[in-house]
């Protein structure tokens, strides 16, 4: 074996070891789980292998993945956003009633929706950081306010019917794509957003966002603005909810309850993807993979005859297991370290040679 070959083989081993180690973490294991679930889904529903069908499935899952993406930015900073579902419902109702059958209103209303999302995210961030209201309470209050306004404006009933050109964003796509057949616009939007999220997390903003979730005091000592970092996380979360709302109008219609439960789906996906709920650690792609794993799991449950009313219970079990397993390992490791470390001599005792 030549020296060059030896260096090549030696260089490959660390990569393999890192890959195995990464797959052994919760953030890496989600890819294995997703692969297994996809195999089972194809076995139960072979029609997904037909041209364009699997891409349509991804398109239907895109809103869940997008809200999980938004929730990721909040959770890694050490906070929580419970207002995502209310924001989605409000934005859907806003679009349905302001656009109507006027195609020329699509762009102005979408800009207005973006502004509304930014304002809600800014409000959540300011309440949490500057006024020091716990994010659970602050975003819960925002949820009640936004939901109350939405229900008051609609009377609790579906209202509004936006023009087809707007609904096409969520239901249409590009036909006759080689190998893929049909590519929904929602999939293209998701791919772009994931690319932007990866880019952000590789920038100083992303590294500081993880840092503030891990150690706020140390991050503040670097001169970084802690309140603005976390507030931008909330703004990104509300923008993600707004984009998900635009897609949902395409196939879910205009209803004041269309976003109900999306905040819990997002939290479940992020936690299942191995993102630490207290912040500081987690991969953005793992959160996306977990969102797809959840939707595949729910589809499998439908195929085996489990009623959809069991979904909240399944999400609760996933959260408990995903959070409980690391804590259990931590407690076991702590007990093991306490039993293996020899006690130090008490004052007055001599240590024999």
Residue 253 has pLDDT above 90, yes or no: no
In DSSP terms, 183 is beta-bridged to: 174
Torsion angle, CA of 287/292/293/299, rounded to 10 degrees?
150
341 in any annotated domain: no
**Pairing of β 173-177 and β 181-184:** antiparallel
Q: Hey, what are 62's tokens?
A: 């895109």
**E strand or H helix at 86, and its extent?**
helix 84-99
What's the pLDDT tens digit per position in 198-230? 999 999 999 999 999 999 999 999 999 999 999
Residue range 152-174: average pLDDT? 88
User: With bands split at pLDDT 50, 70 and 90, how would you rate the model's confidence at 327?
Assistant: low
Q: Hey, what are 176's tokens?
A: 């006759």
Q: How many structural domains does the chain have?
A: 1
User: With bands split at pLDDT 50, 70 and 90, how would you rate the model's confidence at 335?
Assistant: low
- The number of residues making up the chain comes to 353
pLDDT at position 10 is 43
- Answer whether 88's CB lies under 8 Å from 239's CB: no
For residue 40, the enclosing domain spans: 27-324
Residue 8 has pLDDT above 60, yes or no: no
What's the pLDDT tens digit per position in 68-97? 999 999 999 999 999 999 999 999 999 988
- Report the distance separating Cα 257 and Cα 150, nearest Å: 9
Residue 352 DSSP symbol:
P
- Answer whether 181's CB lies under 8 Å from 52's CB: yes
Identify the three-state secondary structure at position 182: strand
pLDDT at position 159 is 75
Residue 351 has pLDDT above 50, yes or no: no
- Report the distance separating Cα 53 and Cα 59, nearest Å: 10
pLDDT at position 153 is 87
307 in any annotated domain: yes
Predicted TM-score of the model (pTM): 0.87
15 in any annotated domain: no
**Each residue of 204-226: b (16+ CB within 10 Å) or e?**
ebbebbbbbbbebeebeeeebeb
278 φ, ψ (degrees, to nearest 5): -80, -5
Residue range 273-281: average pLDDT? 88
119 in any annotated domain: yes
Residue range 232-260: average pLDDT? 93
179 in any annotated domain: yes
C-alpha separations of 344 from 31, 225, 333, 347 in Å: 45, 43, 20, 9
Q: What percent of the chain has pLDDT over 70?
A: 87
- Report the distance separating Cα 37 and Cα 142, nearest Å: 36
Q: Hey, what are 316's tokens?
A: 């609760």
- Report the distance separating Cα 269 and Cα 89, nearest Å: 20
Region for residue 351 given its phi and psi (left: phi exceeds 0; alpha: psi -120 to 50; beta: otherwise): beta
pLDDT at position 189 is 97
In DSSP terms, 174 is beta-bridged to: 183
Residue range 300-305: average pLDDT? 86
pLDDT at position 336 is 61
User: With bands split at pLDDT 50, 70 and 90, how would you rate the model's confidence at 329?
Assistant: low
Residue 51 has pLDDT above 80, yes or no: no
- Report the distance separating Cα 26 and Cα 172, nearest Å: 35
């Amino acid at each position: 074996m030549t020296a060059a070959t030896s260096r090549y083989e030696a260089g490959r081993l660390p990569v393999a070891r890192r890959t195995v180690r990464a797959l052994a973490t919760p953030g890496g294991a989600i890819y294995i789980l997703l692969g297994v679930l996809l195999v089972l889904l194809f076995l139960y529903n072979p029609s997904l292998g037909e041209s364009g069908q699997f891409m349509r499935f991804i398109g239907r899952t895109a809103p869940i993945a997008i809200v999980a993406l938004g929730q990721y930015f909040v959770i890694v900073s050490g906070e929580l956003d419970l207002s995502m579902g209310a924001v989605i419902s409000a934005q859907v109702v806003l679009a349905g009633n302001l656009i109507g059958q006027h195609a020329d209103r699509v762009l102005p209303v979408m800009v207005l929706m973006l502004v509304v999302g930014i304002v809600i995210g800014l409000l959540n961030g300011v309440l949490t950081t500057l006024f020091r209201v716990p994010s659970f309470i602050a975003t819960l209050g925002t949820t009640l306010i936004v939901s109350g306004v939405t229900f008051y404006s609609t009377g609790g009933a579906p209202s509004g019917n936006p023009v087809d050109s707007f609904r096409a964003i969520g239901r249409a796509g590009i036909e006759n794509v080689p190998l893929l057949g049909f590519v929904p616009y929602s999939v293209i939007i998701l791919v772009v957003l994931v690319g932007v999220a990866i880019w952000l997390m590789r920038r100083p903003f992303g590294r500081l966002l993880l840092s503030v979730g891990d150690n706020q005091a140390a991050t503040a000592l670097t001169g970084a603005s802690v309140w603005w970092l976390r507030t931008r996380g909330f703004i990104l979360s509300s923008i993600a909810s707004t984009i998900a709302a635009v897609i949902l109008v395409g196939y879910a219609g205009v209803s004041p309850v269309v976003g109900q439960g999306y905040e819990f789906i997002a939290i479940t996906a992020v936690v299942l993807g191995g993102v630490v709920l207290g912040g500081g650690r987690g991969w953005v792609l793992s959160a996306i993979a977990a969102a797809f794993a959840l939707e595949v799991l729910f589809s499998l449950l439908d195929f085996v005859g489990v009623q959809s009313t069991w979904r909240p219970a399944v999400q609760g079990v996933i959260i408990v297991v995903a959070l409980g397993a690391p804590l259990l390992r931590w407690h076991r490791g702590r007990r093991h370290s306490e039993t293996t470390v020899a006690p130090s001599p008490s004052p007055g005792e001599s240590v024999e040679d």
